[in-house]
Structures are given as structure tokens and as C-alpha cells.
Amino acid sequence: MLFAGVDVGTQSLRVLLADDEGAVVARSTGPLRSRRVGDRHEQDPAQWWAALGQAFRGVPADRVGGVAICGTSGTFLLADRDGRPQTPALMYDDARAPAVPGAQGTWALSKLVWLLRNGPAGLAAGRLVVRHCGDHLADRLTGDLVATDWTSALKTGYDGGWAETAVPAAALPEVVRPGTLIGTVGPDGAAHTGLRVGVPVRAGLTDGCAAQVAAGALAVGNWNSVLGTTLVVKGVTADRLADPSGAVYSHRHPDGGWLPGGASNVGAAVVDEWFPGADRASLDRAAAAHEPAGALVYPLRGRGERFPFVRPDAASFTVGIAAGEADRYAAVLQGVAYVERLCYAHLRRLGADTSGSLALTGGATRSRYWSQLRADVLGRPVTLPATPEPALGMAVVAAAGDGSLTATAARMVRPAETLEPRAGDRFTEPFARFVDALAERGHIDADLAAYAKEPS
């Protein structure tokens, strides 16, 4: 029997099929586009459905015995009671809404409250329902409105119960543990994808949590850094972390305990934007001669930061002058690594145990140089899983079902190699200057700046 994991990203939808031991049998993708206008970032949910059908048609879908879906954290739409979208999908980093108590401005809860005043009238009347990305695709696969999972619902205001807002209770979905059976593939879903009628559809996860599962980082003290379009850091603690700044939030672990973490707006998308069409392999080789780079870069895409600090007005900046393209490229890669190091300092300051294993996943791991650089900046070994894809994490969820996710991941997730940090402290001084530059701009407080510069 094969298990299908679906990962709906910003630029593509990915389907991966794995067997019960974690061996990947097939992969396929479908393209996605999104629309950015000012602070708004939207996708057309019809694209999700088209891409899902295209991707499943590229794999042996008739051999699948279970499906689970993840999407970008906080992405949602409003649909009518038949599941038909009545709004575009508001993306995870859409910043049109002011923050509400207990949520950042980019969180779904803030945008949902904003839609009460500025969106379809049917929301306030309770005629429309909130559908996260994975919910909507599961609706269409099964032919019914399904329950959501508690990781996807967190940024919409669910934390053991729904937050008290003016949003009608009728607009909010039922919430269940990830892996719960929420329906089976119906005739329309089967016709669209090639899946068999009756295949179980399981409640999913956010993309960050799915990547954490694919990394096997499910025991206390273990962490996962996902570097794709953005940087997401996730780990495991026995107790819930309290972060007054709101930068760190915690999902409930399906097996008990907590999955704290945060999502920064820096990431590989900055490299795509600043070096379009570049030969990355060539730049990687050239960047090795610029350690450290001649300039410090805080490589933020657009405006606003979510982690390791919350500043809606934050913007990219450069300190110093890069000596050509290779030096500037090196400065961007190092800047992302400096943000990652600051993320872990912030987590330790809150009381998190970060002493366990650290796995790197996400598209940026295709660059072995960048992965090695991150190990050097962090000053610790990093593990590269054999299949560092959220879609594999979702195949693990589909296989685990109501059972132990941790035990299933231990069976299905395979490490590829471990990178040891290279000797030397060449990044210590530039990291300290990077942290000071953030403090000078008021992005972090002096105490965090001092703590981050201490040996970990």
C-alpha cells in the first residue's frame, strides 16, 4: 500500500507517494501562481484543484491507500455551504489587516476579523465558512465540508477552543487531531485525480509542521529549520513556551507535548528576487571566497517581519558595501543564516531545549554550500534528511492515521548525511554586528542582542 502526501506551496503543488517504510515511489507537481498587490497576497483556489488533478495524474494514484494534505500556515478562504469559494485565498503573508489581540497582522484571525467589515456580507450572517487550504482540497476530494486540523486552525484563533471574536460560530469549522479520518474520496474527486473511490482522507498539518515530520524532529529537544520561500523553525518541548512578543507560537503535538516555532519572512525567495536567472552553483563556489562577506545584509523580501521579532514595518537593509556580485550573494546567504542563529537564541532565551538534533529541510538544502554555511554559522552539526519534503511528512501522517506519529516517522524518515561545522570563528564578529544593527533599528531589545552574542 502507498500513502500520498500533498504539499500546497506558493509556486507549486507537490504530490509524493511513499510505502510503509518511507521509500519514495513517485513524485509529481502542478504549477501555481499567486498575485501580490501592495500588502495583499492572494491565490486562486481553482488553481489548487487543477494542480492537484495534474499532480495525481503523474503518479500511480490507483495504488494509494491514504491521503493527507498540508498548506501554507494561515492561508484560507471563505466558501459557501457547498464548499464553493466566495473569496480568493488570502495567503500566509497577506498583510492587509491590522493585528487583533492574540494574533499578528498576517495571521488568519486578523484577516478574518477584517473580512467581517470588508468582505462578503455572508460571513457576518454565518452563511459562509472558513476553509484553510488543505480543508478546501479535502472538501473537493470527498464531496463534503470536512473538519480542519488543530495546527491549521491555530492562526485562525483555535487554541483548544475558538477565540472570542465577532466571527459567528457557524463560520468556524470542527477541529480534530492531525491524522484523524475526515472523509473518503468521492466520485468527483476520484474522476479528477485517478484516486480510487473510498480512499481515506486524513486531517493534515501546516507546511511547517509537515516539514518537521519529514525531518523526524518529533522528540523533545529536536529541531527542524525549513528554508524555502521563507524560513520556518520548529521543534519539540514538553511544556508550552510563553513568548510575550508573539513571535513564537506553539502547536499541540499529536502525540502529546508541544511544537513551538516561528516563521521569518527571510528565505530563499530573496535569492530568487535579487539574483534572477543566476547560475547558483557558480555563485555558491564564488561565495566560498567571501567568508565573511564584506557587507551585512538583512535579506527581507517585502515589508514586515514575524520571527525572531515582530515588526510590521521592518525592511531589508545593508550595512557596508559588497565587493561585487559574489560578495553580495555571500552576504545574502550569510544574512539568512544570521537570522536563523538569532531565532534559536530567542528560543533558548524563552526556555526551549535546543540541544537535540537539528535537521535542515526545504528547497534551500539543494545547495550543499548553503547548508554547510548554516552549520558553520550555527556552530553545530546539522542533519540532511534523505527526503526533506513536507509532502513526505504528509505521507507519514496518512500512514500514521490515529496511531503514533512519532513512531511512524521513526520508521519512515531516513537521514542522508550529517554536516559538521567547520573549524574557526570567522562568523562570530559579523553576527555580533548584525545583531547590533537590528538592535539599533529597534527591531530587537538590548537584552536579546546581548544574549544572542553569548556562546550557545
Residue 163 confidence (pLDDT): 94
Confidence (pLDDT) at 228: 86
Could you please state the CATH topology (level 3) that the domain comprising 2-208 is classified under. Nucleotidyltransferase; domain 5 (3.30.420)
Closest among 385, 388, 409 to 397, alpha carbons compared: 409
pLDDT tens for 120-145 read: 989 999 999 999 999 999 999 999 99
Three-state secondary structure along 208-228? HHHHHHHHCCCCCCCEEEEEC
Which residues, at least 6 apart from 323, have a Cβ–Cβ distance to it below 8 Å?
Answer: 290, 294
Looking at residue 60, what is its pLDDT? Answer: 98
| Residue whose C-alpha cell reads 528547497 in the numeric block | 363
pLDDT at 334: 98
pLDDT the model gives residue 251 = 94
Residues 6+ apart with CB under 8 A from 420: 375, 381
Instruction: Indicate the range of 138-142, 239-243, 363-367 predicted with least confidence.
Output: 363-367
How much is the pLDDT for 455? 84
Q: Do 419 and 371 form a contact (C-beta atoms < 8 A)?
A: yes
For position 302, what pLDDT does the model report? 86
User: What pLDDT does 57 receive?
Assistant: 97
| Residues present in the chain in total | 456
How large is the average pLDDT for residues 377-397?
Answer: 95
3-class state of residue 409 by DSSP: helix
Quick check: 363 pLDDT over 90?
A: no
pLDDT of residue 270: 92
Asked if the model's pLDDT at residue 33 lies above 80, the reply is yes
Average pLDDT value for residue range 210-234:
93
pLDDT band at 104 (very low <50, low <70, confident <90, very high): confident
The boundaries of every CATH 3.30.420.40 domain in the chain are 2-208, 217-452
Longest dimension (CA), the chain: 62
Strands 148-149 and 175-176: parallel
Cβ atoms within 10 Å, residue 103: 24
Q: Nearest-5° angle of CA 213, CA 218, CA 223?
A: 90
> Residue 308: is the preceding peptide bond cis (ω within 30°)?
yes
The superfamily in CATH containing domain 217-452 is ATPase, nucleotide binding domain (3.30.420.40)
Amino acid (one-letter) located at 32: L
What pLDDT is recorded for position 450?
A: 96
Other CB atoms within a 10 A radius of the CB of residue 192 amount to 19
The pLDDT confidence band at residue 64, using thresholds 50, 70 and 90, is very high
Tens digits of per-residue pLDDT, 244-261? 999 999 999 999 999 999
Tens of pLDDT, residues 162-184 = 999 999 999 999 999 999 999 99
Neighbours of 454 (CB within 10 A): 9
Calculate what percentage of the chain has a pLDDT beyond 90. Answer: 92
∠ CA 354-355-357, rounded to 5°: 95
* Dihedral sign (CA 140, 145, 148, 154): positive
CA 392/CA 306 separation, integer angstroms: 26
How far, in Å, are 253, 394, 397, 399 from residue 403 at the CA level?
A: 13, 14, 9, 9
306-316 confidence digits (pLDDT tens): 999 999 999 99
pLDDT at residue 105 greater than cutoff 90: no
On whether the CB atoms of residues 24 and 17 are closer than 8 A, the answer is yes
Query: Looking at the predicted structure, is the pLDDT value of residue 456 above 80?
Result: no
Q: What is the pLDDT of residue 454?
A: 92
What distance in Å separates the CA atoms of residue 316 and residue 124, rounded to the nearest whole number? 38
CA angle 258–158–360, rounded 5-degree value: 40
- Peptide linkage before 385 cis (omega within 30 of 0): no
DSSP 3-state of 377: helix
Query: How far apart are the C-alpha atoms of 11 and 34, rounded to whole Å?
Result: 7
